[in-house]
Amino acid sequence: DAMVIQNPRYQVTQFGKPVTLSCSQTLNHNVMYWYQQKSSQAPKLLFHYYDKDFNNEADTPDNFQSRRPNTSFCFLDIRSPGLGDAAMYLCATSRDRGMTGELFFGEGSRLTVL
């Protein structure tokens, strides 16, 4: 059974039209991450939640926001998508910060911006 579930798998939006991507986890992990991955590139961390503590990467555009209403769910909001925001968005969880555990990834949400 999938442990990190992302919805939708595919999202098509128009330039400037807000988008929300969702992620849910059944692992009860403390940390949830959002990564952006463009074609043939490494996943790029946008932000993460350690429990309710939000941590934004310095170079994450203001256009990207996140919410974590409870342990199980986390949302990525893109307020005004541009063509450059077309990418695969990966949600991941880990029991704690640091590499002693592992990152559990969802299957990703592929965003297309027209």
Partner 1 sequence: TQLLEQSPQFLSIQEGENLTVYCNSSSVFSSLQWYRQEPGEGPVLLVTVVTGGEVKKLKRLTFQFGDARKDSSLHITAAQPGDTGLYLCAGDGYGQNFVFGPGTRLSVLP
Which residue type sits at 60?
Answer: T
Residue 36 near residue 47 (C-beta atoms within 8 A): no
Query: Prior bond to 69 cis, omega within 30?
Result: no
Q: Which stretch binds partner 1 (CB under 8 A): 14-22, 35-43, 61-69, 76-84?
A: 35-43
- Interaction with partner 1 in 41-70: which residues (CB under 8 A)? 41-45, 48
Task: Report the nearest approach of partner 1 to the CB of residue 16 (Å).
Answer: 27
In whole angstroms, what is the distance from residue 64 CA to residue 103 CA? Answer: 22
Residues in touch with partner 1 (CB under 8 A): 4, 33, 40-45, 48, 90, 92, 97-100, 102-108, 110
